[in-house]
Amino acid sequence: MRIAVAGGTGTVGRHVVERARARGHHVDVLSRSGGVDLATERPLDLNGVDTIIDVTSIETASAVKSKAFFSAVTRKLLSAGQSAGVEHHVLLSIAGIDEAPYGYYSGKLEQERLVTNGSLPWTILRATQFHEFSGQIFTRMKVGPVAMVPFMQSQPVAAVEVADRLVDLAEAGPSRRVPDLAGPRVERMAQLSRRWAAATGEKGKVLEVPLPGGLGQAMRDGTLLARPGSELGTQSFDEWLAHTVQKPT
Ligand SMILES: NC(=O)c1ccc[n+]([C@@H]2O[C@H](COP(=O)([O-])OP(=O)(O)OC[C@H]3O[C@@H](n4cnc5c(N)ncnc54)[C@H](OP(=O)(O)O)[C@@H]3O)[C@@H](O)[C@H]2O)c1
């Protein structure tokens, strides 16, 4: 099968590319670093592609920016896909986003809406945070010697297991909304960030901070965790740390 991986250089995208190639698929990587900016008006040629896997992202908390990015990218992929006769659009989304008020999630909901109402047969997989999120949030929230990490219950999953599932879904054909994928254990994000910092040698103290408002509530009360009927990955956070993260020398 020929698969176009939009965002194929990202945290999960690079695993999608590697897994799809290992299974014998022909893979086209669509990303700005590969010369394809999907958020512009420039035409996109998907001739010969059977399936799109969309794992693009933007780093923003703004609903306006998130909606603008995800709708521009999704519209372009769907319209180029329709012109080229693409048979299947696979989208990765996030568990619990319809119940957690957050600007970035507004864009993801708009992206899901465009795909479900769009012109291509589709599959949507929602996943919980990746193990990598612990380090990303530590880095983003660090001011001076302190990283203020939200009080957040999370059930982190290995990005490589999400990638494998996305390739399974590409091979299975259009399945609409499939069970969410979560990690094997519920953890507190601040503790994960502390373990990540200790393993990588990153300096700084983690301070757990309860966020105000509906998003803070959703982070604390389990809204972002696996729902009944979700599938669970197997690699725990500590196993991921041991296998993936370089110890300081
Ligand atoms: N991170 C998590 O914990 C998590 C959990 C569940 C679901 N998700 C979802 O999974 C998806 C991927 O997340 P991620 O963390 O792997 O993202 P990421 O590491 O930030 O990667 C984003 C990818 O999108 C590409 N990209 C960004 N802007 C682009 C543009 N204008 N045109 C073309 N490509 C563009 C980037 O490549 P270039 O920079 O080279 O363009 C990169 O390959 C997202 O939709 C996210 O909502 C994430």
Torsion of CA 139, 142, 145, 151, to 10 degrees: -110
Task: Report whether residue 11 contacts ligand 1, using a CB cutoff of 6 Å.
Answer: yes
57, 130, 169, best to mutate for ligand 1 pocket (most atoms within 8 Å of CB): 57
pLDDT digits 0-9 by tens, 24-46: 999 999 999 999 999 998 999 99
Amino acid, res. 159:
A
pLDDT at 247 over 80: no
Q: How far is the centre of ligand 1, averaged over its atoms, from the C-alpha of 37 (Å)?
A: 13
pLDDT at residue 156 in the model: 98
Ligand 1 contacts CB of residue 166 (under 6 A) = no
Q: Is 204 domain-assigned?
A: yes
- Distance between CA 87 and CA 70 in Å, rounded? 21
Helix (H) or strand (E) holding 26: strand 26-30
Chain-centre distance for alpha carbon 135:
15
Residue of the CA atom closest to atom 44 of ligand 1: 57
Q: Which residues of 52-62 are buried (b: 16+ CB within 10 A; e: fewer)?
A: bbbbbbeeeee
Please work out whether the CB of residue 7 comes within 6 Å of at least one atom of ligand 1.
Answer: yes
Spacing, Cα 174 to ligand 1 middle (Å): 22
Ligand 1 site, residue 72, Cβ cutoff 6 A = no
Q: 51-54 and 88-94: which strand pairing?
A: parallel
105: containing domain: 2-244
Q: Which atom of ligand 1 is nearest to the CA of 57?
A: 22
Is 90 exceeded by the pLDDT of residue 248? Answer: no
Report phi then psi at 29, rounded to 5. -100, 125
Q: Which residues contact 136 (CB under 8 A, 6 or more apart)?
A: none
Output DSSP code: residue 248: P
Confidence of residue 244 (pLDDT cuts 50, 70, 90): confident
Mean pLDDT within 18-26: 98
- Alpha helices of the chain — where are they, by DSSP H? 13-22, 63-84, 103-116, 133-140, 159-172, 189-200, 213-221, 237-244
Number of domains in the chain: 1
Nearest ligand 1 atom to the CA of 12 is 16
CB atoms within 10 A of CB 31: 20
Q: Does the C-beta of 127 come closer than 6 Å to ligand 1?
A: yes
**In Å, what is the CA distance from 14 to each residue of 55, 67, 229?**
10, 24, 28
Q: Which CA distances in Å does 2 have to 8, 26, 174, 216?
A: 14, 5, 15, 41
Indicate if the pLDDT at residue 21 is higher than 90: yes
pLDDT tens digits, one per residue of 74-122? 999 999 999 999 999 999 999 999 999 999 999 999 999 999 999 999 9
Model pTM score:
0.97
Q: Is the pLDDT of residue 249 over 90?
A: no
Do the beta carbons of residue 129 and residue 156 sit within 8 Å? yes
Q: How far apart are CA 167 and CA 23, in angstroms?
A: 9
8 C-alpha vs ligand 1 centroid, how far in Å? 8
Q: Closest residue (by CA) to atom 5 of ligand 1? A: 129
Cα 56 to middle of ligand 1, angstroms: 4
131-146: average pLDDT: 96
Determine if ligand 1 sits within 6 Å of the CB of residue 17.
no
**Residue 94 beta carbon below 6 angstroms from any ligand 1 atom:** yes
Q: Does 87 reside within a domain?
A: yes
In a domain, 249, yes or no: no
Q: What CATH number has the domain bearing residue 91?
A: 3.40.50.720
Q: What distances in angstroms separate CA 152 from CA 220, 222, 228, one per listed residue?
A: 5, 8, 20
Query: Strands 142-143 and 146-150: what pairing?
Result: antiparallel
